[in-house]
Chain A
Amino acid sequence: DTGVSQDPRHKITKRGQNVTFRCDPISEHNRLYWYRQTLGQGPEFLTYFQNEAQLEKSRLLSDRFSAERPKGSFSTLEIQRTEQGDSAMYLCASSLELGAIGTGGNQPQHFGDGTRLSIL
């Protein structure tokens, strides 16, 4: 399968612990996006990368959230000092943008199956 892969599928942890999620995009895609989805809501944009550059991070929910894409391939999303309100599905998506960096944004995004985070 050459779709977007997320690991783990489920994560259960105690409040206050740090968690890290991994996303492997479709190999030829240069854009990678992270979203959070809570029950009964649509996905909420968090951040995105073009290649290794993080072009938008103002929508990250707090300074406890950070994301990296060091080599322009896979990405990680880390949440430090987790809180119960962090319980949600975290989705990753990727797309191929042919325009200059930071332009476009109209190509369909391909989503992974998500990581479900539960905070005890």
Chain B
Amino acid sequence: AQSVTQLDSHVSVSEGTPVLLRCNYSSSYSPSLFWYVQHPNKGLQLLLKYTSAATLVKGINGFEAEFKKSETSFHLTKPSAHMSDAAEYFCVVSARGNQFYFGTGTSLTVIP
């Protein structure tokens, strides 16, 4: 079975400071992991994906994530937050079953 736990429902950072959004996963198989971002009343946009290649994955808009099998984690980071980063972020796991399992989301607020 696959599942995702996003450890923080809300994160607030000041503009220009680092962002850390935490995600732990559970999977019976080698997982593929994704981070998506959702702006209000919009669909989801792919930020980055991990599919068993390099464990440090770089995505769009300066985001990156590191796959740590020993910790079953896939945390999303960005060195410097921008106002436009304010949105809802979803960690997603997929493993063999052709279904995506979404976390409950982390709402990121960026304070000017």
Contact = CB atoms under 8 A, between A and B. Distances in A.
Dominant secondary structure of chain B at its interface with chain A: loop
Dominant secondary structure of chain A at its interface with chain B: loop
Contacts, number: 58
Residue with the greatest number of chain B CB neighbours at <10 A, chosen from A103, A104, A105, A114: A105
Give the size range of B's interface with the partner.
20 to 34
Give the size range of A's interface with the partner.
20 to 34
A8 interface: no
Contact of A113 (B32, B43, B46, B90): B43
Nearest to B30: A106
Given A41-B105, A42-B102, A43-B102, A105 B97 contact: yes
Interface of B: 32, 34, 36, 41-46, 49, 51, 90, 94-105
